[in-house]
Amino acid sequence: MPAALDSAFDAAFWFADTALNDNEYLQPQKLHRLLFLSQAYYAILNNRAKLMPATFIASEMGPIEPNLYAAFSKGRPDIEVNLFMADGVEEFLDTIWRRFGHFSADRLTKMTKATEAYKAAVRKGKRAEITLDAMILAFSRAEDTPAADQVFRPKVMRSQTGKPVTVKAWVPGKPKSAK
């Protein structure tokens, strides 16, 4: 199953730009934690699909994506990224940012290091991969992180009669063919 984004740089730049727009400095460690959370929650909500083609490893600092870590080691890399994301991906990243963006890097690190996915990778050895299956299992259990339904609540509004209704984006279907 293909990932929703072309590369992990697309999500990393989105978070960096969003932080900049909110007049907030995005520490590299915080960026990696947000990406880790994004990958896990996206897979849970989208039937095991990856948000980005990325591999997270368990470092002493916490979960990191080693390619992004190397690329961002001397600041923001000068590369082109896809600014146009598939339907729902930008809204998904915005939800992650609104839910976790105000957390400190230390709080996010503590939260992600407490997950069973991270702990299992650490037990395997230095720089062991944190598998997507382990991430899905750990975040589905929601022992150390908020449950997916706490992070992504459906929009509920009221109808003209006052009845609560769940609201989602309208996606037009195929036009019916004339007979």
DSSP states along 86-123: PTTHHHHHHHHHHHHTTS-HHHHHHHHHTSHHHHHHHH
Is 175 part of any domain? no
- 12 pLDDT band (50/70/90 cuts)? very high
- 142 pLDDT band (50/70/90 cuts)? confident
Is 3 part of any domain? no
Structure tokens at 162: 């006052």
Residue 174 reports pLDDT greater than 60 = no
Residue 128 reports pLDDT greater than 90 = yes
* Greater model confidence, 148 or 65: 65
Burial class of 143 by CB neighbour count within 10 A (0 to 12, 13 to 18, 19+): exposed
Q: What 3-state class would DSSP assign to 158?
A: strand
Strand 62-64 to 56-59 pairing: antiparallel
Is 2 part of any domain? no
Is 161 part of any domain? no
Using one digit for the tens of pLDDT, what is the confidence trace for 70-115?
A: 998 888 888 888 778 887 899 999 999 999 999 999 999 999 999 9
Is 141 part of any domain? yes
In this structure, the chain runs to a length of 179
- Which residue reads 């991430």 in tokens? 135
pTM across the whole model: 0.82
What is the distance, to the nearest Å, from the Cα of residue 26 to the centroid of all Cα atoms in its chain? 15
Is 114 part of any domain? yes
Q: Which of 86-95, 120-129, 153-162 has the lowest mean pLDDT?
A: 153-162
Q: How many structural domains is the chain composed of?
A: 1
Is 66 part of any domain? yes
Answer yes or no: are the C-beta atoms of 112 and 119 closer than 8 Å. no
Is 73 part of any domain? yes
Using one digit for the tens of pLDDT, what is the confidence trace for 18-76?
A: 999 999 989 999 999 999 999 999 999 888 999 999 999 999 999 999 999 999 888 88
Domain that holds residue 118: 8-156
End-to-end CA distance of the chain: 37
